[in-house]
Amino acid sequence: MRHLLSTADLDRATAIHILDTAAQMAATQSREIKKLPTLRGRTVINLFFEDSTRTRISFETAAKRLSADVINFSAKGSSVSKGESLKDTALTLQAMGADAVVVRHQASGAPHTLAHAGWVDGAVINAGDGTHQHPTQALLDAYTIRRHLAVAGGAGGGGTLDPSGRDLAGLKVAIVGDVLHSRVARSNVLLLRTLGADVTLVAPPTLIPVGVEAWPCRVSYHLDDVLRAEQPDAIMMLRVQRERMGAGGSGGGAFFPNPLEYTRGFGLDARRLALLPEHAIVMHPGPMNRGLEISADAADSRRAVIVEQVANGVAVRMAVLYLLLAGDAAEPKLVDERVGIA
Amino acid sequence: MTGSTRYVLRGVAPLGGEPTDLLLADGIIAAIGTDAVRAALDTDVSDRARGMAHAGSDTEAVEIDGAGLVALPGLVDLHTHLREPGREDAETVASGTRAAALGGFTAVHAMANTTPVADTAGVVEQVWRLGQDAGWVDVHPVGAVSVALAGEHLAELGAMAASAARVRVFSDDGKCIADPVLMRRALEYVKAFDGVIAQHAQEPRLTADAQMHEGIVSAELGLTGWPAVAEEAIIARDVLLAEHVGSRLHVCHLSTAGSVDLVRWAKARGIDVTAEVTPHHLLLTDELARGYDPVYKVNPPLRTAADVEAVRAGLADGTIDIVATDHAPHTREDKDCEWAAAAAGMTGLETALSVVQQTMVDTGRLTWADVARVMSSAPAAIGRITGGDRPQGRPITVGEPANLTLVDPAARWTVVPEVQATASANSPFRGRELPGRVVATFLRGRATVLAGQAVPQADAGSPGAAGSAYPTTARNA
């Protein structure tokens, strides 16, 4: 693995290896001194063409916990219309000696272009590109699901047993909301299926892309039916962007009539929460629109693992940075290093 | 003004038929057949012996070994972007028409989306004169339908038609004439001078921010879709409008299976509609977008394999009348970027005939006579340039203007955009091996291309530059 651009590039073994590595990283994060020396002297550049404070902070935290030097490069508003091209930005970073470039870009495929155009030598990590992919989000989601549900003895273990080496076979995951514009949904459909889970996308038909029939998942337009009939083990609520709504001035181009109708059909409220099986977890990639796609009852319930997703994001991104930058050793040598810094 | 050099083409196969000899002299096809050519040359020798040398035959005839070569009427492109005036960094009339000659063309229609837009008699005459000065091919400017391509007010179509450029094809290409009333008015208005509206069929509301064909690949890549229905809905509307007002409609770069069906239906109904397909839509599919390489970004977008099959079938059965290149050069900086930021368009003049051979001739779906129809006579007829003082798309018969293309169908070559004559390198065929090479092109008897190389205009009359027979491997490197 030279870059992390899409979950489509991850086979089952690689995905499990990343999750296992993340688990080891997470174990180090409960210590008093959280910092590992692994990436000392390496430079990680966070190149964000689009605002995303949480994702940037997560990557920054991950890199710093591994002792990498971190440079944040906010290029918002550059590229397309005015200012510097992606190419010149990339060449600038290359001149500064980036070992890894974490890139967030509004254009689908921009990280792919960055990785393959010959502009930079370092590893490229896709931190979200347009409506294409957000692979570390899917990895942290899979990690979170596995920690809660894929323990020995099957679902409902509560994360007390070690799920290392396991996949998500047999688990049912519902992904609800704006699939059309969601890189999180695309990343998760591919990764969760690779790990053996059964995925159902739930959205109004306007928010399901033409061509979805080729995706390895089911599609439903009725959330209540899915909750009752499939009894999903995990439900992932996608953020609905305000500008997609009828009130957004987009005229006939709005994707649903108004927020109330969306919430009635696809919001996760207390009633729907009660339809879920007892062990099911509630997920959201954040930031949430409380009252729109998820009610406070659901967001704050004991089943919600939304805050934990954030913490797991750091561990997963540590694992990705480690595997991409610390060589291609099959097994991470965290144990030795831990001794070194004890 | 015709070249003074006479050419004897030995053993060429007109339209792929029986090999024979052709004599090109005084700008026309002077003789066809071994005996006729010999007789013509003998007459000339005896004339000269008596001091009666006539104009244009004061030099020896240049012999070209045409064994294995197919002779086609000079190709006519109904859809070329020459970019001048305005974007001379991407292409000029001179560079684009030189590329056209190397591709076997003797006439091109230059699209109107220049800067300034070709929406006045002044601009179309400028482009027309630039074409004459360059001398590689006849340049026929296309006039914009609406002022500044804005889709609001009719441009001065009558003035452009009456100008020295004698515009007959009008198009807002690059933009669709979306307003049905404007489209109706345009269709009606051009009837006065036998014009045609060439529509870029793209419903704008259905294609806001569209990046590629909407389907399985766009769903996976997260690129905003350009649905087939956005093209088909406009074609359906336009053929009905053309029927209603009794005018002539041309559909540019038709790209979907549904569009082929609509045009087939319209023709069966007797509607005066013609349609074109580009070489890239005959060969390439949306799968190529997977690497996010903007060289494959084009408008209309590359479609699915089923669409490719449908446009091939449509071209084979005559539903689609012509192949036109939509040659759309772009600078490196307009392609060397993320997909969404890249310009849409592909070069095509120097690869068109090869792609048509690969997709249509080598597959047995078209004969060379058919190729002559879809790439020369039919586009010339649509553009109304088969008559006048510079007729194009004429048959290969004695007395016709010597607009000819010699192609070696057995040759194979690999596309290297950087060595092409076009000023831009955005060829989607980079690195592909294609069949068929243009060996020679003659514009009214003057060689613009010989031995696969462009013949500079100043040297065109020099026999020294033309003496070599075509070396089969010359341009295979």
pLDDT digits 0-9 by tens, A154-180: 444 444 567 889 999 999 999 999 999
The CATH 3.20.20.140 domain(s) of chain B lie at: 74-382
B44 is known as an active-site residue: no
Q: Do B336 and A85 touch (CB under 8 A)?
A: yes
| pLDDT score, position B44 | 73
Q: Which of B214, B292, B297 to mutate to test the interface with A (most CBs of A within 10 A)?
A: B292
Are residues B253 and B324 in contact, defined by beta-carbon separation less than 8 angstroms?
yes
On chain A, the residues whose CB falls within 8 A of the CB of B306 are none
Instruction: For residue A107, give the nearest of B217, B219, B338 by CB distance.
Output: B338
Confidence (pLDDT) at A66: 97
Taking CA atoms, B70 is separated from B28, B103, B152, B251, in Å, by 18, 14, 47, 29
Residue A106 has what DSSP assignment?
S
- Report which DSSP code applies to A179: -
* Cβ B79 vs Cβ B418: under 8 Å: no
CB–CB of A211 and B291 under 8 A? Answer: no
pLDDT digits (tens, 9 = 90+) for B355-392: 999 999 999 999 999 999 999 999 999 999 999 999 99
Look at residue B58 in the predicted model and tell me its pLDDT.
53
Catalytic site residue from B44, B238, B307, B326: B326
Please give the CATH architecture assigned to the domain spanning B7-70+399-465.
Roll (2.30)
Q: Enter the DSSP assignment of A65.
A: H
Contacts of A9 in chain B (CB under 8 A): none
Give the pLDDT score at B152: 97
Q: Examine the pLDDT at A151 and tell me if it is beyond 70.
A: no
Residues in chain A, total: 342
More confident residue, A242 or B368: B368
Nearest Cα residue to B223 out of B167, B285, B301:
B301
Every domain range in chain B assigned CATH 2.30.40.10: 7-70+399-465
Q: Looking at residue B171, what is its pLDDT?
A: 98
Residue A98: is its pLDDT beyond 80?
yes
| Chain A residue closest in CA terms to B219 | A211
Q: What is the pTM of this model?
A: 0.91
Residues 301-330 of A with CB under 8 A from B: none
Burial B118-148 (b: 16+ CB within 10 A, else e): bbbbebbbbbbebbeebbbbbbbbbbbbbee
pLDDT at A337: 42
Q: Could you give the domains of chain A?
A: 7-131+313-341 (3.40.50.1370), 135-308 (3.40.50.1370)
Q: What is the mean pLDDT of chain A?
A: 89
ipTM: 0.89
Is A133 at the interface with chain B, CB within 8 A?
Answer: yes
**Better-scored residue on pLDDT, A245 or A202:** A202
Element (H, E) at A270: helix A270-275
Per-residue pLDDT, A152? 47
pLDDT above 90 for A341: no
The B196-199 sheet, strands edge to edge: B169-170, B196-199, B249-251, B273-277, B322-323
Q: What is chain B's Cα-based Rg?
A: 22
Q: B217 with B290: CB under 8 angstroms?
A: yes
Per-residue confidence (pLDDT) for residue A78, from 0 to 100 = 53
CA–CA gap between residue A276 and residue A253 (Å, rounded): 33
Helix (H/G/I), strand (E/B), else coil: A198: strand
What pLDDT, on the 0 to 100 scale, is given for residue A246?
A: 57
Res B54: pLDDT: 53
Regions of chain B where pLDDT drops below 70? 1-3, 47-59, 458-477
pLDDT band at A253, cuts 50/70/90? confident
Q: Do B222 and A132 touch (CB under 8 A)?
A: yes
- CATH code of the domain occupying B74-382: 3.20.20.140
Distance CA B440, CA B449 (A): 5
Question: Residue B223 is nearest to which of A85, A108, A117, comparing CB atoms?
Answer: A108
